[in-house]
């Protein structure tokens, strides 16, 4: 799971036109959750939500609009994020 999460978290940033974005995100989140890295799962869900605003991330139970701390973390540590608000 650790290798899967490491690989999957970079797929959509490296290949932003990948045709099955939802599948990559589901597999990535599942991998992070399996190894107990919930914060990493949230980080990448919010990152990809900012890159692909049409994504429905509600199935993961992460509140995108209200998670100020994760968004702040993203801005502090990742200088190439495209925020949609």
Whether 74 shows a pLDDT value over 50: the answer reads: yes
Is residue 76 predicted with pLDDT exceeding 60?
Answer: no
Give 24-62 as a DSSP string.
HHHHHHHHHHHTT-HHHHHHHHHHHHHH-TT---GGGT-
Give the angle subtended at the CA of 15 by the CAs of 10 and 21, to the nearest 5°: 80
Question: Is the model's pTM score more than 0.85?
Answer: no
Share of the chain above pLDDT 90, in %: 15
């Amino acid at each position: 799971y650790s290798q899967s999460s490491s690989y999957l978290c970079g797929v959509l940033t490296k290949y932003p036109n990948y045709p099955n974005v939802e599948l990559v995100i589901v597999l990535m989140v599942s991998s992070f959750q399996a190894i107990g890295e919930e914060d990493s799962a949230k980080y990448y869900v919010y990152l990809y939500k900012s890159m692909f605003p049409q994504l429905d991330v509600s199935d993961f139970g992460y509140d995108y609009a209200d998670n100020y701390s994760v968004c702040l973390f993203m801005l502090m540590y990742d200088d190439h994020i495209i925020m949609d608000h």
